[in-house]
Chains A and B, each alone.
Chain A
Amino acid sequence: MRRILPWLLWLWLALVIWAAFFYAPLAEGFVGQSSRILFFHVPMAWVSFVAFLAAGAWSIRFLAGGRRERDDHAAEAAVQLGLLFCVLATVTGAIWAKVMWGAYWNWDPRQTSIVLAMLFYAAYLALRTAVEEPEARRRLAAAYAVLGLVVAPFLFFVLPRLTFSLHPDTVVNTRGRVEMESRMLQVLAASSLAFTVLFFWIHRIQVRLKARAERALPGRTTP
């Protein structure tokens, strides 16, 4: 079963890519085919959101639940992957912005938020490299990740309201309704699911690699 699951995931992803171009209709009011980037941009943003949230949750578990190395590895891997997806969301967003708005970058509130989120989690990784002692590194990094959970609401809920945004409504819009053509919604849901599973799959591998690297460190006895 273990062997088959990745292949199922690849098949699912291939299907999503096909559906994004040939099954889903175009959205109204968008230039050319540009609305199709939605099926990749939104899942990237969603996965990075999930990753950063999960990193915060693992950090809380690390601090509150016995300081297990495993939780720290999980948090670090989640931040690294979250940053990758965050970059992908930013790039896909910028390409779309060039087509729709005429400029790759214009500090739309959503762009501001995502850049600040990236800066924050890049700083998290910088902090990890600046503390040599492993125990202190884990403790301080976890504390900083928890601090991120406090700053995030200001980034994602307060700042976007500060100025006018050109960004299209998020999937569930401010009126609290989902207003999307049903075939587009199907593809978007399938794509989000696929990339979320992809994230957790890579994450699992990363955590196992980190645990292995930890065991291989010289001067360390393993039980």
Chain B
Amino acid sequence: MSRAASTWLSEAVAVFTKDWRCELRTRYALNTVLLFALTTLVVVSVALGPLGADQQARGAVLPMLLWLILLFAAAAGLPRVFGHEEEKHTATALRLAATPSALFAGKLAFSLVLFFAIEALTAPLFLAMMQLPVAHPGRFVAALAAGGYGLAAASTLVAAIVGQARGQSTLFAVLSFPVLLPLLLLAIAATRAAVLGGDAGAELTQLVLYDASMTIVGLMLFPVIWNP
């Protein structure tokens, strides 16, 4: 590995470890986002009940509700990835210390781990509380992984934009939802297919395509967003 690549990687890893160390000290994001996901899950579950939805409609409706819970959990937690750097005035130090693209990679890795953890806790609980059998568990996990990656990547990028603006939390929802909606529709279609036992190949390919384009555009745009 060349020297430049190894410093880039070590910078990204340093950002990632720094963020997790801060996070584990306060557990702010983990606690709030997880509790947010749990609360919405309980609300949905109570409102709908295990027998609330019509048997035929369950396979179509419940995957959508799962993704809505995940979307709002992401909107509750992920803007903080950059928000707290600006709030605590540590952003300038980060600007001086790290290569922008490495910083983005580190932040993206942080969001990914956080979001996958939330998915890993929310999704099984959702399936259990809703008593929703999954026809293809493998495809279900693939849909969650591909959808979750895109959700975390796009949210991280939008969080970087919103971090420098006023009214962060409302603005985040306004800016990120149009970007996330195509992903969400694809993810819902893929999850629905996994639950009902249909073919999700095309949707999963398109999800991976979305993930890849978000990662590439993130690495290219982030230096512009980050550096005045």
Q: In the complex, which residues 176-223 of chain B have their Cβ closer than 8 Å to any Cβ of chain A?
A: 177-179, 181-183, 185-186, 189, 203, 206, 210, 213-214, 217, 221
Provide the residues of chain B in CB contact with A155, threshold 8 Å: 182
CA distance A63 to B179 in the complex (A): 21
Is A185 an interface position by the 8 A CB rule?
Answer: no
- Contact status B165-A127, CB under 8 Å: yes
Q: Which 7 A-B pairs have the closest CB atoms?
A: A120-B178, A154-B182, A119-B178, A130-B165, A150-B217, A131-B165, A143-B225
Q: List 13 A-B contacts (CB under 8 A).
A: A123-B177, A126-B171, A127-B175, A130-B166, A130-B167, A130-B171, A136-B228, A143-B224, A143-B225, A147-B221, A154-B210, A155-B182, A162-B189
- Contact status A162-B185, CB under 8 Å: yes
Min C-beta distance of B175 to chain A, whole Å: 5
Residue from B158, B167, B181 with most neighbouring chain A CB atoms (10 Å)? B181
- Contact status B206-A143, CB under 8 Å: no
Is A151 an interface position by the 8 A CB rule?
Answer: yes
- Contact status A126-B225, CB under 8 Å: no
Minimum CB distance partner of A127 in chain B = B175
Min C-beta distance of B42 to chain A, whole Å: 29
Q: Which of A119, A130, A147 contacts B157, CB < 8 Å?
A: A147
Min C-beta distance of A58 to chain B, whole Å: 15
Binding site for B on A (CB under 8 A): 63, 112, 116, 119-120, 123, 126-127, 130-132, 135-136, 139-140, 142-144, 146-147, 150-151, 154-155, 158-159, 162
CA distance A144 to B167 in the complex (A): 17
- Contact status B165-A135, CB under 8 Å: no
- Contact status B228-A63, CB under 8 Å: no
- Contact status B185-A140, CB under 8 Å: no
Q: Which of A116, A139, A147, A158 contacts B217, CB < 8 Å?
A: A147
Is B51 an interface position by the 8 A CB rule?
Answer: no
- Contact status B178-A123, CB under 8 Å: yes
Provide the residues of chain A in CB contact with B161, threshold 8 Å: 127, 140, 143-144
CA distance A17 to B58 in the complex (A): 50
- Contact status A151-B171, CB under 8 Å: no
- Contact status B171-A158, CB under 8 Å: no
Q: Is the interface of B mostly helix, strand, loop or mixed?
A: helix
- Contact status B225-A132, CB under 8 Å: no
Q: Is the interface of A mostly helix, strand, loop or mixed?
A: helix
Known interface pairs A119-B177, A123-B178, A158-B206; A140-B186 also in contact (CB < 8 Å)? no
CA distance A136 to B160 in the complex (A): 12
Provide the residues of chain A in CB contact with B178, threshold 8 Å: 116, 119-120, 123, 151
Is B10 an interface position by the 8 A CB rule?
Answer: no
Q: Which of B165, B167, B182, B203 contacts A151, CB < 8 Å?
A: B182
CA distance A155 to B189 in the complex (A): 15
Q: Which of A116, A135, A139, A150 contacts B225, CB < 8 Å?
A: A139
CA distance A188 to B135 in the complex (A): 49
CA distance A159 to B166 in the complex (A): 32
Is B47 an interface position by the 8 A CB rule?
Answer: no
- Contact status A143-B182, CB under 8 Å: no
Min C-beta distance of A71 to chain B, whole Å: 14
Provide the residues of chain A in CB contact with B166, threshold 8 Å: 130-132
Min C-beta distance of B79 to chain A, whole Å: 13
Minimum CB distance partner of A135 in chain B = B228
Provide the residues of chain B in CB contact with A130, threshold 8 Å: 165-167, 171
Is B39 an interface position by the 8 A CB rule?
Answer: no
Provide the residues of chain B in CB contact with A132, threshold 8 Å: 166
Minimum CB distance partner of A156 in chain B = B182
Minimum CB distance partner of B163 in chain A = A140
Min C-beta distance of B197 to chain A, whole Å: 19
